[in-house]
Structure 1
Amino acid sequence: MFSCILIGAKLSNIQALHIYNMTADQFNFGKLSPELNRLISFSITNSYINRLLGRLEHTHQIACLNLSNNIFGTEWQDPLALENLKQLAMLDFSFVNISILPNIKIEVPIFWLDVSNNTKIRCESLLDLMKKSGNSKYKLNFVKHNETFCMSSLSFHWFNTTEKVALREVEGIKKLREDCPINCTCNWHGLDMVQDTITLQTIQVHCSNKQLSNLPENLPENTVLLNITNNNITSIDAFVSDPTYKTLRFFYADKNNISNLLSLEGSPFIDNYSVLSLKLNQLKSLPIYILQNSFTRFEAHKVYLGGNELDCDCSTAQSLKIWLLANQRHLPDYDAILCKNFPYKLKVLDLDQKLVCITEADWTQYMYYVIAAELSMLLLLIGKVSYDYWVFKTAGYLPWPASKMPKLPCDWVFE
């Protein structure tokens, strides 16, 4: 319970107001008296407030707002609670338990923010504020720089948790965002723990729906995720030629015009990736040996190829179909890969060997029939000559038709 007694003071004359050791179910900023229009400093400290409501509408002159050493039961009910404070130059959120800052408009030359010793504040919230100040003429400064940390997601391949990150590392991420490729958006991805090496700050780059015809060049350092969905990209040669692709582990390139995966062979990506998504592209065949080697090395690899229309033949039915079935855990949409060279879009899994493995006869096969016929005629001729000779020797005459044949000059040899 909190009570405040102002003896002999007019609200319109008050320039500083400090509320201390208050316990309340809620505090509504919007219900502050309009008469407090000369308020310059406003503090609520060492209090427990379950809910924060409303906006500061009539206190535009507040330059210093102190909400330190508090336990807030929930997040801000209204993210725009402080948006009307155009003169705000100092905001103290130290020793509180909120995770997301309310929306803050920095409209003074130098803005001081204290979020030190805050056990839950998210790094992404600080990065968003840094981004806003970085694109304007106003400067953002942090109080107690060395005591300021934030929480970020942490990934170690299959393992995810949260980790406390120093402010200097967050500022490093801000610098990486400034190096983002043209037409792309770069965001904080998290921290990457790699055994026997330092913890890395990682970046994700989003370039979807930008009508790109080539992969973006010079990705920020430690980029682990690239999303180029719905563009006109035909080649992924950058996986080999661009050294900034060596840290990439998540690649989303759905709805493009990529026609082959041969560039993946020998690239750092094929050894380290977690997700490769190439749905609805122009793949004509799948290099099984490249993907199979990656599946063998690491069980967590996932490849999405649904919607691609392959040139299917007997080999597809005999080899690829069996390979897809054997690697279902790595190919979540294995049953959505199609065959192009059929009147309708037939799934690879529905290919029938009896239909696609019929061998067409070529002209060399007919030679065997010709040779067989000639041998048969030769045997018949030998038999006929032998028979005529036997009749002539035993009966003294030649049977028909040998007797009707004209005599040749050499026939006297046999008479």
Structure 2
Amino acid sequence: MASRKTTIFVIIRTPTFTLNAILRKVDDVSFVLTALKMNGGQVLILCEWPKATFDPQEILREFTFLRKLIIANSNLTRLSTAFPREMQFLEKINVTGTKLRLLPNDAFTNLRTLRCLDLRNNAFEEISITVFDVSTLKDIYLAGNPLRCTEDVAWILDSSEGSAASRVVDKDKLLCATPYDGRPLVPIVEIIVTLKEECKETVCACELIYVVARAGKLTQRQLIAFTSVNCSYRGLMEMPEFLPADTTTLHLSGNKIKDLTPLATNPAYKSVLDLYIDDNLIESIARLEGSDWLDRFRLLNLRGNKLTDLPTYALENALLHNSNAANLYLGNNSWTCDCHFTPSFQDLLIRHPNIIKDINDIRCAFTSDSDNSNKQIRDLTRTEICISSNEDSWLHPLDILNIILASLIFLVLGKLLYDYWSFKKTGKLPWIVAKIP
């Protein structure tokens, strides 16, 4: 043994063939094996188990009087079979500090005296409730595993007497893995289950995106949930009247919605920060003017609707006071390009290039009789906006006024120079100056 760098400590009062049998099952016995006769029963401790799998049927069948089994600190990843029926005295199983992540659903079914199961600090991402279907099992420990918080672990919420969840001793210490790293498992699963029930009242798909913990005790009420609801391409004529609680992102793309009024009037939209309502039939956003929603939105996608104009002053005011505003999409609409609307709209686009993300797609409506048809609004000049193509530019009143004013300026300057020259030459003041008393 010494030549193979194997350490084995044996204190045993069972027949020698039992120890020899377990050693024959392992090709490389680079683990510490201790078998102790304690309190009239038997304890088996396996440290640094050398294999990725452990076969209870093969390894433990001859340990018929075993009462406690401990497997610790190893690279074990899987139990390949259920525990054998012959182990009729086994009361406690500790598998801790390993990489165990897979168990047969019937792993412990044959154990008629099992009372305590400790699976802490392993690599379980999910555990089927059927694993705990052992009538004698009283205490279950699961903390320290990277459990996925999904609907599949909803059984943990069942607090009824005798349920598997009621036997999980360290339920309050269970934490979620990605994407809710470090968040308490039970309240997260409560949120997921509640979300599923509320989502049934809609025609949408719902997903819990992220959870932020408030200061204090981590319960469901101390968690801020961010939920995404996808109602895209559902043939909706109106915005949904009901949304699941804590809906922060709402997708309504590709429907036939014309009215945005619910954003300003329906309390269901109070938590919506990101709204995707592109490719609908929206003709106006005037109903949002002065609304709380416009002052706190984070993303608004209005691409591909029927917008021709909008209240630029209201939107400008909202963007100045809304610290959340990050993304606004207005492209692929049939925008009016005239002297009444376009100058203020153009100023809005130029002042907020970091928020208005698709500025290159914001163009004048396509019309066959306009030189501005399909041009980028940001790049239009005032002359292009305010002078129509059928007007004779040299007869335009503004141009005539400009010519007259320029002529008067030159006339005044010329008279001033003449009077200065005349005074230097003759010493006489200009006639108008001489007449002034």
Common fold: TM-score over 0.5: yes
Task: Compare CA radii of gyration and give the structure with the larger one.
Answer: 1
Write out aligned runs for 1:285-300 (5 A). 285-300=309-324
Asked if residue 250 in structure 1 is aligned to residue 274 in structure 2, the reply is yes
- What is the aligned counterpart of 2:346 among 321, 341, 344? 321
Q: Is the 8 A contact 1:225 1:250 kept in 2?
A: yes
Write out aligned runs for 1:81-100 (5 A). 81-82=102-103, 85=105, 94-96=119-121, 98=123
Q: For residues 263 and 7 of structure 1, what CA distance do their matches in structure 2 show?
A: 83
Asked if residue 263 in structure 1 is aligned to residue 287 in structure 2, the reply is yes
- What is the aligned counterpart of 1:185 among 205, 212, 221? 205
Asked if residue 221 in structure 1 is aligned to residue 274 in structure 2, the reply is no
- Structure 1 match to 2:190: 171
- Structure 2 match to 1:206: 229
Find the residue that maps to 2:165 and give its secondary structure: strand
- Structure 2 match to 1:70: 97
- Structure 1 match to 2:363: 338
Q: For residues 287 and 92 of structure 2, what CA distance do their matches in structure 1 show?
A: 56
Asked if residue 349 in structure 1 is aligned to residue 378 in structure 2, the reply is yes
- Structure 1 match to 2:422: none
- Structure 1 match to 2:413: none
Find the residue that maps to 1:7 and give its secondary structure: helix
Find the residue that maps to 2:193 and give its secondary structure: helix
What amino acid is the match of 1:190?
Y
Q: For residues 101 and 325 of structure 1, what CA distance do their matches in structure 2 show?
A: 50
More strand, by proportion: 1
CA offsets, 1:236-281, max 9 Å, x none?
Answer: 2222332121122222333333333233334443233222233333
Q: Is the 8 A contact 2:57 2:84 kept in 1?
A: no
Q: Is the 8 A contact 2:53 2:77 kept in 1?
A: yes
Asked if residue 128 in structure 1 is aligned to residue 128 in structure 2, the reply is no
What amino acid is the match of 2:143?
N
Q: Deviation of residue 165 (structure 1)?
A: 2.6
Q: For residues 280 and 168 of structure 1, what CA distance do their matches in structure 2 show?
A: 40
Q: Deviation of residue 51 (structure 1)?
A: 7.0
Aligned residues: 336
Q: Return closer, same or farther for 1:321/1:203 CA change in 2, 3 Å cut-off.
A: same
Q: Deviation of residue 230 (structure 1)?
A: 3.2
Q: Deviation of residue 33 (structure 1)?
A: 6.9
Q: Is the 8 A contact 2:296 2:324 kept in 1?
A: no
Q: Return closer, same or farther for 1:87/1:23 CA change in 2, 3 Å cut-off.
A: closer
CA offsets, 1:91-121, max 9 Å, x none?
Answer: 96753164x6147475998999956432x63
C-alpha RMSD of the superposition: 5.1
CA offsets, 1:374-396, max 9 Å, x none?
Answer: xxxxxxxxxxxxxxxxxxxxxxx
- What is the aligned counterpart of 2:173 among 128, 136, 148? 148
Q: Return closer, same or farther for 1:196/1:49 CA change in 2, 3 Å cut-off.
A: closer
Q: For residues 302 and 254 of structure 2, what CA distance do their matches in structure 1 show?
A: 11
Q: For residues 346 and 384 of structure 2, what CA distance do their matches in structure 1 show?
A: 14
CA offsets, 1:322-350, max 9 Å, x none?
Answer: 31121122222232323323456433334
Q: For residues 10 and 297 of structure 1, what CA distance do their matches in structure 2 show?
A: 77
What amino acid is the match of 1:184?
C
Q: For residues 311 and 359 of structure 2, what CA distance do their matches in structure 1 show?
A: 15
Q: For residues 284 and 95 of structure 2, what CA distance do their matches in structure 1 show?
A: 57
Q: For residues 35 and 7 of structure 1, what CA distance do their matches in structure 2 show?
A: 10
Q: Is the 8 A contact 1:93 1:116 kept in 2?
A: yes
Which ranges in structure 1 are unaligned for 5 or more consecutive residues?
A: 12-17, 155-160, 369-415
- What is the aligned counterpart of 1:117 among 143, 152, 160? 143
Q: Is the 8 A contact 1:110 1:141 kept in 2?
A: no
Q: Return closer, same or farther for 1:107/1:70 CA change in 2, 3 Å cut-off.
A: closer
Report the identity percentage. Answer: 17
Which ranges in structure 2 are unaligned for 5 or more consecutive residues?
A: 1-5, 11-15, 23-42, 86-90, 158-162, 398-437
Q: Deviation of residue 163 (structure 1)?
A: 5.2
- Structure 1 match to 2:332: 308
- Structure 2 match to 1:22: 47
Q: Return closer, same or farther for 1:342/1:223 CA change in 2, 3 Å cut-off.
A: same
Q: Is the 8 A contact 2:303 2:333 kept in 1?
A: no
Q: For residues 6 and 325 of structure 1, what CA distance do their matches in structure 2 show?
A: 87
What amino acid is the match of 1:280?
G
What amino acid is the match of 2:96?
N
What amino acid is the match of 2:189?
V
- What is the aligned counterpart of 1:358 among 387, 394, 403? 387
Find the residue that maps to 1:324 and give its secondary structure: helix
Q: Is the 8 A contact 2:233 2:255 kept in 1?
A: yes
Find the residue that maps to 1:202 and give its secondary structure: strand
What amino acid is the match of 2:229?
H
Q: Is the 8 A contact 2:48 2:72 kept in 1?
A: yes
Q: For residues 289 and 193 of structure 1, what CA distance do their matches in structure 2 show?
A: 38
Q: Is the 8 A contact 1:88 1:106 kept in 2?
A: no
Find the residue that maps to 1:251 and give its secondary structure: strand
Find the residue that maps to 2:350 and give its secondary structure: helix
Q: For residues 6 and 209 of structure 1, what CA distance do their matches in structure 2 show?
A: 69
Q: For residues 244 and 306 of structure 1, what CA distance do their matches in structure 2 show?
A: 25
Q: For residues 291 and 61 of structure 2, what CA distance do their matches in structure 1 show?
A: 64
- Structure 2 match to 1:157: none
Asked if residue 47 in structure 1 is aligned to residue 72 in structure 2, the reply is yes
CA offsets, 1:153-181, max 9 Å, x none?
Answer: 99xxxxxx965336245324422331123
- What is the aligned counterpart of 2:256 among 232, 242, 249? 232
- Structure 2 match to 1:7: 18
TM-score by structure 1 length? 0.61
What amino acid is the match of 2:207?
N
